[in-house]
Amino acid sequence: MGRGGPAKILVVEDKEDHREIIVCALEGRGYQLLEAADVDSAVVVARQERPDLVFLDLLLPKEAREGLRLLELLKRERPEVRVVVYTCISTPEWQERAQAAGCDEFLVKPVELARVREVVARLLGAASETSHTPESQDGQRKPGDTPCGEDPKT
């Protein structure tokens, strides 16, 4: 987006299997995918790589507010960055807090992977999604393949 290269997406999630689901949902679609398991590493990656979009779990190690603090920091340092909150916290109070902190989309787990892709494409602009068919190990795309043996929901 704007830099001439693929859009960068940072996935911030402390649970490796949850992080892997989002990464797999977006793999092979023309994005540069970055990962972080905690606030400290997310800050480092965000400052170095300047992602276009961040997928952010609110419940990160230490305490529930860590995700909100990271959201506020990301938006303060780069107001243009798009942030998708992806969490199991479904209360209206937390959704309002996340929106007040600047999130662009609030998704409650579990979420259909097609919804993840739709939100990313909408927030980044459909032009940034250059390929909709995953590549096999030999680099050849196979119609109907799904990345990482995906399930319809996560």
Termini Cα distance of the chain = 27
What integer pLDDT is reported at residue 66 of this predicted model? Answer: 85
pLDDT under 50: residue ranges of the chain? 2, 127-147, 150-152, 154
What is the tens place of the pLDDT at every residue in 9-52?
A: 999 999 999 999 999 999 999 999 999 999 999 999 999 999 99
Return the CATH fold of 8-149: Rossmann fold (3.40.50)
Show me where the domains of the chain are located. 8-149
Distance (Å, whole) CA 96 – CA 152: 28
Give every CB contact of residue 124 below 8 A, 6+ residues apart in sequence.
1, 7, 52, 53, 82
